Amino acid sequence: MQKALLIIDVQASSVTKTDLIAKIEKLQYSYEHVFVSKFINKDSPLIPLTGWNGYENEDLVFQPAPFAVVFEKNIYSSFIDDLKNFNEVHLCGFDTDACVYKTAMDLIENGVRPVVLTHLCGSAKERFHQIGLELLKRNIGEDNLV
């Protein structure tokens, strides 16, 4: 089975649990295939709807592995076509209730099993993280949250 790790938006403004940064950075070396998304809100379709215009030039707060595929996005989902090459994609990062959730839903709709590493995810508020986990449990199945 082909597995990959997808690290979602580990940037200064989104990291609410700083203890996760080192854990995520270390975890990536346990995988042969690693993808890292970086949220850039420039020209995002989210701006007119949300009024929020942050993250225009914000760097990642960890060092991606040399073999990691790093890509920018300006939407919630971190799903890219390259992920269709895997049977299973493990997700970690921020925000559980937004980008992690949307990415998991897009993976499952594209025939890829999403596995959310719940202990390596977070949101702006703990209650948003918990709500995101509840919605993930309902929509992708409790067995896909570890």
CATH 3.30.470.10: does it fit domain 3-144? no
pTM, entire model: 0.91
The structure tokens listed for 114 are 């999403």
Determine the Cα–Cα distance for residues 136 and 145; give it in Å rounded to an integer: 8
φ, ψ of residue 49 to 5 degrees: the values are -85, -40
On whether the CB atoms of residues 9 and 103 are closer than 8 A, the answer is no
Task: Dump pLDDT digits (tens) for 57-106.
Answer: 678 999 999 999 999 988 889 999 999 999 999 999 999 999 999 999 99
**In the chain, where the domains are located:** 3-144
The helix-helix angle for 101-109 and 126-140 (nearest 10°) equals 10
Find where tokens 């949220």 sit: 39
